[in-house]
Every structure is written in structure tokens, then in C-alpha cells.
Amino acid sequence: MKLEQDLAQRIKRDAAISVFLYLTPIALMFTAFYLTGYKPWEGSSGLPFKVPRFLEGIFKNLSSWGLPVIVLVIGAVEAVAGLYENKWTKNERLLDITCFVIPKIIIRPLVTYYSLLLLPELLPGGKDMFSWVPFWWAFAIIAVADDLTQYWYHRIHHQLPWLWRFHRTHHSAPYMGMAMASRQNIIYSIFFSQTYLTAALTYLGLGYAALFVKVIKSLITTGAHSSIPWDKPFYQIKWLNPIGWVLERLISTPATHHAHHADTADDGIGNYKGNFGNMFFIWDIIFGTGIITRKYPSSYGIKHYKEEEWYAQFLWPIIKSKKEGSELSADGPMVGDEVPVQVRAEESLQTSTAG
């Protein structure tokens, strides 16, 4: 009971801080306008930033077909290099592929289509109403709003046990790789904030900035889940150390995000009850939910993983698992992201027997 009260108080405190963080880039933008006398909403003679045409083309292609191609290339490199360590069984492979394909070709297009149909009814005078906002200010506002919202969406799925089973699929794999970035239960994917936010912002006239945020965020999160440790040179090469120090506190890197997917927190490296940041790791720094070790966990996944059927992991609770005792089975236990006492007892017994 005491732990639940402490958690509730901490969430309330951090939520209040979040309101301030959401408003900060907006306040800074208007402060800059006031100090410079720039009033873009009145057709000021000052020119807002205009996205160069060649950049627009690059990012539009990345958003449509370019990004999936990049992800597939990274996945091919991981597979050829053996970075999945023969843990990509048929069940895991079907789950990863399903989670990669269906949200991209069905869920997100449908959500975007119907959102753009519904928005004129909900906000009849809203079309392009914020098109006056200079690009880089729009980028900063959207980056904060989008990623901080996702931080909270992610965090509460760990901290509220009844939500954990919708996110559990993302943590069940005993390996890391680019496929993990989209490995999610269908309910978790449907209510994912970024698709709705991008559609709404496009309608309101901030499509350029929303598109840039979406692409850059996708590249960062894919890189953070990848089994390719691209951040190691920043820790090992002395003159890169200062850049690495800033980088690992600003964005998610393989070291910080792999820690979130560790199957234990007992080694001082894993932190599956923290390191929630998606594009930005700075939220974990601000809210005290992150640890930085510059090390990688020795094992990943869930200690009590029962290798539930791929379709049950993807479609729970619509379709439930047939695995007895599974959280995803009919009347399965609701244990949250804690390691069950029974599993801890078995580990202790194994350790003492080995000794």
C-alpha cells in the first residue's frame, strides 16, 4: 500500500513537471517573437524558415518507403552478422514480422485516413491555422510534445500492472534487434499517440515539422533497439568522450535502451523499470528514471516468458494464449513487469545448487 501511494505521488509530481516542459518551447518561441518584434501571424516582413525542396523530397520518401528500406537493411546486417544468436525462432520471427508489417500497412494508414476525415468535423476552422509557425520552432514544439507524451505512455504501461500485458510483447524477446522497435501488441499500437498527433498537426498546418520529427525519431528509436552497438566508439575513443556524454543524456542509445530490455536489474546494468525514453533520454534524467552504465546486459527478455504463441502476443486480449499459467492466457495472473516470487525462488535454488 505504501509503495502504491509513493508511486501515485511521484507520478503526480512528474506530471506537474511535464506540464511545464510541454509549455517551455511555446513560451520560448513567443519570448523570441517579443524580443525581436517578429509577428509571423500578422504577415510580418520577416521570413519564416522554409524547408528546402530537396530536403522535403528526402523526408517524404523516407516517411513513405525509405524508412522501411533502411530498417530492412539494418535487419539484414544483424541477421548476416549473427547478432540474433540463433534466438530468432519461428514463433519469434512470425511475431516480429507481423508487428512490423501490419501496423505500417493497415493500422497507421487507416488511423491517418479517418483522422483526416474526422478533423474537419471536430475543428471546422482549424485547417492550416498554425501554418504561420516558423519551421524550427514547430519542430521543437512537436518534438517535445510527441516524445514526452510517448515517454508517459511507455512509463505507465510499466508502472500500472493492468496495462503491462499490452506492452509485454515488446519485452518478451530474448534478443535485441531492429525488429524490436515495432514489436508491440495491436492494442498498444492502435492507441499509440504519434500517428494521431502527426495527422492532427498536418491538418493544422504543421505537416513539414511533424514529418521531420517522425522520421528523425524513427531513425533514433530503430538505432537504439538495434543489436549494432554504434555508440561504443563514443565511450572508447577519448576525444569522442565529451560528445558521448552529451549524446547518451540527450537521446536513446543502444547502451541505455538495451538496459531497459534486460531480463534482470540485479547486475547493475539492467533497468527494465526505467530508461523509458524513446527519442529523448533526457526525460529519464529529469524524472530520475534512468541509469547510464555504458555497458550492455548479458541477457534480455522476461524471466517468466513462456514463449506464448505469436498470434496471442500480438492480439491479446482478443485472442488468448493456451500456455498454462501465462499472463496472456484466460484468467492469467496480472503480475506487472515484476519478476514473480516463484521465479526468484527458482533462481536462488539454482544458484545455491550450483554453489
The C-alpha cell of 127 is what?
485547417
The 10s digit of each residue's pLDDT in 144-196 is 999 999 999 999 999 988 899 999 999 999 999 887 888 999 999 988 877 78
CA distance linking residue 13 with residue 10, whole number of Å: 5
User: Which of 28-42, 58-72, 73-87, 96-110 is the most confident on average?
Assistant: 28-42
Alpha helices in 160-263 (DSSP H): 161-171, 186-190, 193-203, 207-225, 232-236, 241-250, 254-260
Between 289 and 325, the more confident residue is 289
- What pLDDT shows up at residue 63? 52
Instruction: Report the chain's mean pLDDT, rounded to a whole number.
Output: 84
Has residue 351 got a pLDDT over 60? no
Higher pLDDT, 199 or 274: 274
Residue 347 banded pLDDT, cuts 50, 70, 90: very low
Cell numbers given for 112: 491517418
3-class secondary structure, 262: strand
Residue 100 has pLDDT above 90, yes or no: no
CB atoms inside a 10 Å sphere around CB 45? 6
**pLDDT score recorded for residue 85:** 62
Is a pLDDT exceeding 70 seen at residue 118? yes
Q: What is the pTM of this model?
A: 0.86
Cell numbers describing residue 53: 525542396
pLDDT average, residue stretch 114-135? 87
What average pLDDT does this structure show over 21-48? 82
